[in-house]
Amino acid sequence: MASRPSSRKSTAASIAAADEAPATPVRSTRRSSSRSRATTVTTTSTPVVVLKKVPPSSSTRKRSSKRAYEEEEEEEEEESELELSESEAEQTLTQTRSPRGVAQSTVAPAAAQAQSISAVPLVPESSDNNVLPSFIRRTWTSLLMLAVFFAVIYAGHPALVALVFSVQVLMFREIVHIAYSALLKDDDKKIPLFRTQNWFWFFITVFYVYGRLARTVLHIDIPYHNFISFALVQVAFVTFVLSLRPKMYRTQFSMFAYVLLAIVVVVLQSTSIIFNMFEGIFWFVMPALLIISNDTWAYIWGILFGRTPLIALSPRKTLEGFLGAFVCTLLTAFFASKWLAGFPLMICAQDRLTFQHPVCQPSPIFIPQTYELPFTIPLLGWNSLEIAPVQIHCLYLGLFASLIAPFGGFFASGFKRAFKIKDFGTLIPGHGGLTDRMDCQLLMGVFVYVYYWSFVVPRDSAAAITVDSLAEAAMHLNSTARSELIRRLTESLAKLQ
């Protein structure tokens, strides 16, 4: 009786069989039932199996059919495994016989692919040919933006408000355009007034926040401002519901939530920057300068000494760049704040929308004071320091700008990875879109607003009230309240004399 061949052939056996003279392969024969008998006739070339079947009895017919079904399944599995092993043998034979300098296989094994993927560094090594032109382009663009920035500052508060509003419009356009390209494609043509609705929501939010700014800062009251804002929201809401179309519900609601999130991120956060600048342009310029300083020093330190990846969301960010920027940002906060405090344009609050530069008495936080040290500084022999309180405040701003604000950039990086894009736009050469430069500024502006009204104003509450602001507020009182105010002021001034 001839032995049954194994179901698997080894790779080495297949290679050896391929090198020798071709022979007819031997297939494993189907196993017969318990009542079958087999007689094997052997020849000089290929063994031939002659089967003589004996009909099964009626008692074993059911069991034999079940067993035959199981044997058929088993044979199919063995044949598939045999074909798989033969294909592996042919692939290995092709690899071993391929000439030098030619790829060994067109299909890389899964393990090799995983190893190659894991071997890719998180921080790609850029050649000098790519780094130098990029650095020069970014430098010239940054210098141009700084020149425009300081020119707008010198123009006064109306120019600054126009600048912030332009930034809001461009950022909202960049963010929403990404959703148009990724989520909608051509589906927006099927929805009536789709893009108009999104911009309508944007301008409703702008009307509301700028109306509150006019009332609280500039003392300009818009009649029925809150009611008009509420009515516009209801119009936008009803329009959205009426525009819903079958088979587009999920897309429309996804885009609706996306637009509202963009409004919160862009409009509401950036409006806090306008509130800051009317308390003194210093509280607008200094935070922006700290973010620019941190981003610049992180780029320089990363190029020179960057080796250790910082976060997977931004592969080019390094730990060395992060730490180097932290130290340099604190130094910038300490010394630049003292320099900016010497300009009246920076430190004076403004309560009207005018191009004229404000003039005021410096607030106590901008006046240098002498602080005694508990020890003497070696080599210098200093036992006291003369610094302005605002320099201490700016150190806290520098801590936030270097430790927390960069996560606004990481958030933007994750957002871009989610939509598989490199930049938000191409408005700024070498930097990408405007959102790529403002992601950290928005977070910083909100922090400065909260910090100023939490820690700066209580220590300097007298500077927050001016004669002009008091007179302007009195004009909004009715005749009875105005007479009561005059009586109380007269009594208070009489006591002071």
**Contact indicator for 389, 369 with CB cutoff of 8 Å:** yes
Say what the pLDDT of residue 76 is: 56
> What span, in angstroms and rounded, lies between the C-alpha atoms of 214 and 350?
12
**Lowest-confidence region among 66-75, 250-259, 430-439:** 66-75
Say what the pLDDT of residue 175 is: 92
Owner of token pair 């990875």: 417
Confidence band (pLDDT; 50, 70, 90) for 458? low
Judge whether residue 1 has pLDDT over 50. Answer: no
> What span, in angstroms and rounded, lies between the C-alpha atoms of 185 and 204?
26
**Contact indicator for 297, 455 with CB cutoff of 8 Å:** no
Confidence band (pLDDT; 50, 70, 90) for 94? very low
247 vs 12 pLDDT, higher one: 247
* Beta strands 369-377 and 48-52, pairing class: unpaired
| Average pLDDT rounded to a whole number, residues 87-112 | 44
448 vs 430 pLDDT, higher one: 448
| pLDDT tens-digit readout, 256-302 | 999 999 999 899 889 999 999 999 999 999 999 999 999 999 989 99
| pLDDT tens-digit readout, 122-137 | 444 444 455 557 678 7
Judge whether residue 2 has pLDDT over 60. Answer: no
Q: What are phi and psi of 425, to 5 degrees?
A: -175, -170
**Lowest-confidence region among 66-70, 184-188, 223-227, 388-392:** 66-70
Say what the pLDDT of residue 361 is: 87
Output the DSSP codes for 302-322: HHHH--SEEETTEEEEEHHHH
Cα 397 to the chain's mean position, in Å?
Answer: 22
Say what the pLDDT of residue 469 is: 65
| Average pLDDT rounded to a whole number, residues 58-62 | 47
**Percent of all residues in the chain with a pLDDT value above 70, rounded to a whole number:** 68
Owner of token pair 């408005």: 427
Confidence band (pLDDT; 50, 70, 90) for 70? low
**Lowest-confidence region among 233-237, 286-290, 369-373:** 369-373
> What span, in angstroms and rounded, lies between the C-alpha atoms of 323 and 92?
51
Judge whether residue 11 has pLDDT over 90. Answer: no
Whole-number Cα distances in Å, 207 to 3, 196, 210, 267? 91, 16, 5, 11
Judge whether residue 44 has pLDDT over 80. Answer: no
Angle between helices 282-305 and 389-403 (to 10 degrees): 50
> What span, in angstroms and rounded, lies between the C-alpha atoms of 125 and 28?
57
pTM of the predicted structure, to 2 decimals = 0.67
431 vs 454 pLDDT, higher one: 454
User: Among 178, 64, 254, which Cα is nearest to 416's?
Assistant: 178
Cα torsion 307, 308, 312, 314: sign = negative
Judge whether residue 453 has pLDDT over 50. Answer: yes
Find all residues with CB under 8 Å of 325, minimum gap 6, and list them: 293, 294, 295, 297, 298, 301, 402
> What span, in angstroms and rounded, lies between the C-alpha atoms of 424 and 437?
10
∠ CA 177-182-183, nearest 5°, is: 100
Tokens of 271: 């409006």
Say what the pLDDT of residue 464 is: 52
Which ranges of 156-307 would DSSP assign to H, the alpha helix?
157-179, 194-216, 225-242, 249-263, 269-278, 282-305
User: Among 1, 4, 89, which Cα is nearest to 38's?
Assistant: 1
**Contact indicator for 46, 26 with CB cutoff of 8 Å:** yes
Highest averaged pLDDT of the listed ranges 284-293, 360-369, 410-419: 284-293
Q: Which DSSP category does 56 fall into? A: P
Q: Identify the burial level of 302 via C-beta atoms within 10 angstroms of its C-beta, where 0-12 means exposed, 13-18 middle and 19 or more buried.
A: buried
150 vs 21 pLDDT, higher one: 150
Say what the pLDDT of residue 73 is: 54
Say what the pLDDT of residue 352 is: 84
Every domain of the chain and the residues it spans = 11-93, 131-463, 465-497
**Contact indicator for 70, 78 with CB cutoff of 8 Å:** no
**Lowest-confidence region among 181-195, 206-220, 325-339, 344-358:** 181-195
Q: What are phi and psi of 349, to 5 degrees?
A: -75, 160
Say what the pLDDT of residue 103 is: 40
Say what the pLDDT of residue 72 is: 56
**Lowest-confidence region among 162-171, 181-190, 346-355, 435-444:** 181-190
| Average pLDDT rounded to a whole number, residues 371-378 | 80
Cα 93 to the chain's mean position, in Å?
Answer: 49
Judge whether residue 176 has pLDDT over 60. Answer: yes
**How high does pLDDT run on average in the chain?**
76
